[in-house]
Structures are given as C-alpha cells and as structure tokens.
C-alpha cells in the first residue's frame, strides 16, 4: 500500500480511538470535533480511491442539500492530502484538482481566525490551521500552513524542507493520479505541473506517468531526508520546551 494510504489509514485509526474515548467520557464537545476530524480524514481517503460508483442523480430543487464544508474544513482536508506544510498558492490548485471546487476566502484571514479562536478557548477544536515553525528561531514561517495535530517535526521547516515537502506532495499526488477512477484531466494537469520541477520525470517532453513521478520524487527525497530530519528533530526538541500556544503559533519574531 502506498504512503498516502498508510498515513491516512493510521490517522483514521487514531481518530476512531479518540472518538471512542470522548464517547466514554461523555464529552459532547470533543465527540463533535473528533467526528469532524474523522470525516475530514475519510474524505481525503475517498479522494485517493476515487468514485467507486457512478455519481448520484442531480438533486431536485426541492430536495434537501448536503451541508457544504466550511472554508477551514476544505483547507484542512487539502493539507491532509498534501501531507506537508504548504502555502496558499499550493493549496488552492491541489484543492481545485482533487476536490473540484475553488477556495475563495483569504487564507491569511483564516489563519488569524484560528489563532484568535485558540486564544479565546484553547483546544476547543480538534485541529487548528497554524503556521509552520522555522527551525532556527521557532517563529511562524511566512505563508506556510500546517495542521496542529501533526507532530512538531512535520510542522517545522529547515533550509531543505521546502524541497523535501515538495517531493512529499509530489509522491502523494502521484498516488492520487495512479488510481484509475481518480484520473481526471485536472489531476493529470496538476501532476504534470508538479513533475516539471522534478528532474527525470519526462514532464518537459509531455511524457508523464504517476509511477515515474513517484520514483523520481522518492529518489531525490532520499538524498535530502537524513539531513532535513535531523534538523527538524533538533528544532522539535527545543520547541517542546515552549508552552502549547507557542508550539502551535510560534514565538514572537
């Protein structure tokens, strides 16, 4: 099973445990947030699988409409799909290609809303959209968004992290594109655009395959990951000495 499926299925297993624990404690607030987190992870999992059956008939004008995901839920599930810190300019095209809708609201305001919500009632939400942290000073990294439930090592960026995270995303999008049911033109175009920045994929000649993109991305990532992971781990150890708020939103610059 590929890396994206492994990560999402491990996450869903943990979220189901969290949901059961909240039910046992009769914690209605945590039950609600845990359920939302599980739904979001399941949506990302189904996006990898692709539709297993023909799409349903269009709903009539009088039929009740399914509730739309909020902006923050859409950003959260797209970050889960990418699996690494990402900027809005990356999140938007990935979301559009995989989930078929545009993200209209400013993610800068969304990030500020998340921080205000945490300050007002810490841990009221199961997950927060928060900035990546710089490895040197543990300040918030400009424009890079992460999910609060990720390990610190995954939320920290080093000088080599931009490339490592790009290759992580490339591997995950290749997994999506490889699923026959999920090979829409939008996903193919997204994979092609990503592959143009990875040597050896053949994308510059129009020869693109998910397997080639994955192999090239993984090979390059292996040459960088030891140094990158060591730097992230060292920074994460320093970050664990901070209070929970600064672990999520960074120390003042």
Q: Taking the model in full, what pTM does it have? A: 0.75
Confirm if 95 and 103 have CB atoms less than 8 A apart: yes
Nearest to 228 by CA among 130, 149, 131, 154: 154
**Would you state the pLDDT for residue 53?**
36
Count how many residues are written for the chain.
253
d(CA 230, CA 129) in angstroms, rounded, equals: 25
**Would you state the pLDDT for residue 93?**
95
**Would you state the pLDDT for residue 205?**
82
d(CA 75, CA 44) in angstroms, rounded, equals: 11
**Would you state the pLDDT for residue 181?**
54
Stretches where the chain sits below pLDDT 70 are 1-7, 23-24, 26-33, 43, 46-68, 180-183
Angle at which helices 161-178 and 185-195 pack, to 10 degrees?
150
* 62-97 per-position pLDDT tens digit: 333 434 678 888 999 999 999 999 999 999 999 999
**Would you state the pLDDT for residue 1?**
42
**Token output for 32:** 């609600």
d(CA 9, CA 216) in angstroms, rounded, equals: 25
**Would you state the pLDDT for residue 183?**
65
**Would you state the pLDDT for residue 51?**
45
d(CA 144, CA 149) in angstroms, rounded, equals: 16
**Would you state the pLDDT for residue 64?**
38
**Would you state the pLDDT for residue 178?**
83
**Would you state the pLDDT for residue 166?**
97
Confirm if 115 and 249 have CB atoms less than 8 A apart: yes
d(CA 38, CA 162) in angstroms, rounded, equals: 28
**Would you state the pLDDT for residue 4?**
60
Positive or negative, the CA dihedral 75, 77, 82, 84 is positive
- Please state the separation of Cα 233 from the chain's center in Å: 20
Judging by beta carbons within 10 Å of its beta carbon (0-12, 13-18, 19+), is residue 215 exposed, middle or buried? middle
Q: How many beta carbons lie within 10 A of that of residue 232, not counting itself?
A: 25
**Would you state the pLDDT for residue 250?**
97
**Token output for 215:** 């192999």
């Amino acid at each position: 099973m590929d890396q994206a499926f492994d990560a999402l299925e491990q996450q869903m297993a943990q979220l189901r445990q969290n949901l059961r624990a909240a039910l046992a404690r009769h914690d209605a607030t945590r039950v609600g947030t845990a359920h939302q987190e599980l739904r979001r992870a399941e949506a990302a999992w189904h996006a990898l699988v692709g539709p297993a059956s023909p799409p349903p008939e269009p709903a009539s004008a009088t039929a009740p409409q399914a509730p739309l995901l909020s902006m923050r839920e859409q950003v959260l599930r797209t970050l889960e799909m990418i699996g690494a810190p990402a900027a809005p300019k990356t999140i938007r095209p990935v979301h559009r290609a995989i989930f078929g809708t545009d993200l209209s609201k400013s993610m800068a305001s969304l990030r500020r809303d998340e921080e205000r919500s945490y300050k007002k009632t810490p841990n009221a939400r199961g997950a927060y959209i928060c900035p990546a942290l710089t490895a040197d000073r543990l300040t918030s990294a400009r424009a890079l968004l992460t999910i609060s439930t990720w390990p610190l090592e995954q939320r920290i960026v080093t000088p080599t992290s931009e490339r490592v995270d790009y290759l992580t995303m490339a591997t995950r999008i290749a997994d999506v594109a490889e699923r026959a049911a999920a090979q829409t033109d939008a996903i193919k175009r997204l994979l092609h655009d990503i592959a143009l920045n990875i040597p050896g994929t053949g994308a510059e000649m129009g020869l693109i395959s998910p397997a080639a993109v994955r192999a090239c991305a993984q090979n390059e990532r292996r040459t960088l990951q030891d140094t990158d992971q060591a730097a992230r781990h060292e920074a994460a150890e320093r970050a664990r000495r901070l209070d929970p708020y600064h672990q999520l939103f960074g120390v003042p610059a």
